[in-house]
Amino acid sequence: MAGKKLTLTILGQNHIRKDWYVDLASVQFERFFAELVKELAAFGVELARARNEAITIDINSYSDLLNSVRLSSPADGIGSQCVGHIIGQSEKLNLMEDIKRAVNRGAFAPETIPPEDHNRRVCHNCGCGC
């Protein structure tokens, strides 16, 4: 597994409903991300972060929030999957916990993530273009 690279991409967000706002530039998120990077590095997994403000998701629900964060792992054939596609239903509606679940799945069990062509058959209008 040494040398595996994952990228977490955060899309632009238009918070129509403010009750689903999570500050992904906060100190709390920075600490969370740094700890996640450190945990994965112990297993030879590199996690990077990117922002893509060119694509904006309207946030009307928690599922929209999940779908505004994507994971890619080229070595595993994961191009750019929404966190919502990776984890399915959220257990606690905790974005950081759900991101961690998705990243760990991509790092350690990518075979359990449905392939991208699966998304075309079950599109839920998250804005990913499938």
* pLDDT for position 65: 95
Query: What are the structure tokens assigned to 27, written together?
Result: 């100190």
CA–CA gap between residue 18 and residue 120 (Å, rounded): 29
Query: Span 19-26, mean pLDDT?
Result: 93
Could you tell me the pLDDT band of residue 33, with boundaries at 50, 70 and 90?
A: very high
> What stretches of the chain show up as alpha helix (H) in DSSP?
27-41, 62-67, 83-87, 95-108, 116-121
Record the pTM: 0.86
Could you tell me the pLDDT band of residue 121, with boundaries at 50, 70 and 90?
A: very low
